[in-house]
Amino acid sequence: MRNVVIVGAGLTKFGEQWKKSFREMITEAAVSAILDSKLEGKDIEAIYTGTMATGKFIGQEHIGALISDRLGLNPIPSTRLEAACASGSVALKQGYLSIKSGEHDIVAVGGVEKMTEVGVHHASSALGGAGDQETELFHGATFPALYALLARAHMKKFGTTEKHLAQVAVKNHENGVDNPFAQFRNRITIEHVLNSSNVSSPLKLLDCSPLTDGAAGLILMEKQKALDLGLDAVEIVSMAQASDSLALTGRKSLTELNATKQAGKLAYKKAGITAKDIDIAEVHDCFTIAEILAIEDLDFVKKGSGGNATMSGFTAKNGSLPINTSGGLKAKGHPVGATGVAQAVEISQQLLGKADKRQVKGLEYGLTHNVGGSGATCVVGIYRRA
């Protein structure tokens, strides 16, 4: 089995992109990644793209063919992958496996979503398909309600407070200020979060990630080939994926996401490290409670202590384990199909020392954690500088 590295990364600005189409965004991210890699389009042997609900958001399916055509890369194989909000990481995992297996030497991985051209009700319905339509969405349980249930369970069992949740948003907005690609680059306070409108108690508006347009791209290559070419590279040390019940009613516990625990455990094992070796991480904070669950389920902190750890500054950019230096889904934005790829962009930039004002020093290992739905799919990746 061969080793795989990231040699190029690209992003569009995340936000409400009224003047850019779906195809323009994925082209921009892909071209940026190719230019960053110092390769050419003709070097790419396959494309893997994550996107969740293009049929509902923009009325377009057959995304793989659209992207290869748009990039002028026919006739190479181009595949679209979907795993709800984990679509980007599933695409990254497939690109990684295609090189690791020897099928390809150089591939492009992308993630894209254009979410803001439909109304909020239509967007909520499209996103609700990532949960169980029959037992959840049909009865009115959209994702804010499902994560509110997780938050309530955590609060009841461990004493987590609304201020603990709010601090996640405050910290991630602080990080987003220094990210030129972030949707929100404004600082907020705990009071701002607590005084924002209720969405699904205890979650307020500022506890929730936004609807976002955006795209991200990566160029992957077989490691020795990249080293022979003298390219700056970040190695994908391991990738692991796990599944759980689609609906919350099938879960054994509402205070943990078992898919995260299993994917994390397998990723650490494959990499030959433990959670204590991770120096920086991008985790899936679609709601503030999701980040608290993630840092616990990935064994960064003891179960139940995620709120206090966040409040203490443990996860701040200058803390013991910086989490979501990009601003996370909360501030950077959450174009669902692009999120997993964008997380890997941030970690690769950090490990290469290219994160500008967000840069954290002394890094060896980075981690990405991308969740689909309310935790039915999870992909965890571990990275280090090659």
Active-site residue set:
85, 334
The amino acid occupying position 78 is: S
Structure tokens at 82: 């979907």
The residues near 49 (Cβ < 8 Å, ≥ 6 apart) are: 26, 63, 64, 67, 78, 79, 80, 81, 91, 109, 110, 111, 112, 337
The amino acid occupying position 336 is: V
Coil, strand or helix: which one is 262? helix
In angstroms, rounded to a whole number, what is the distance separating the alpha carbons of residues 88 and 104? 19
In angstroms, rounded to a whole number, what is the distance separating the alpha carbons of residues 133 and 142? 10
Three-state SS sequence of 200-241: ECCEEHHHECCCCEEEEEEEEEEHHHHHHCCCCCEEEEEEEE
| H-helix or E-strand spanning residue 5 | strand 4-11
Instruction: Provide the edge-to-edge strand list for the sheet that holds 234-243.
Output: 78-81, 47-50, 106-113, 214-222, 4-11, 234-243, 377-385, 365-372, 280-282
Q: What is the dihedral of CA 273, 275, 277, 278, to 10 degrees?
A: 120
Burial classification of residue 242, based on how many CB atoms lie within 10 Å of its CB (0-12 exposed, 13-18 middle, 19 or more buried): buried
Structure tokens at 333: 């934005």
Please list, residue by residue across 332-346, b when 16 or more beta carbons sit within 10 angstroms of its beta carbon and e when fewer do. Answer: bbbbbbbbbbbbbbb
The single residue listed with the structure tokens 């940026």 is 32
The residues near 148 (Cβ < 8 Å, ≥ 6 apart) are: 199, 200, 201, 202, 203
- State the CB neighbour count (10 A cutoff) for residue 138: 10
Instruction: Measure Cα distances from 330 to 107, 241, 248, 292 in Å.
Output: 29, 23, 23, 13
DSSP for residue 115: -
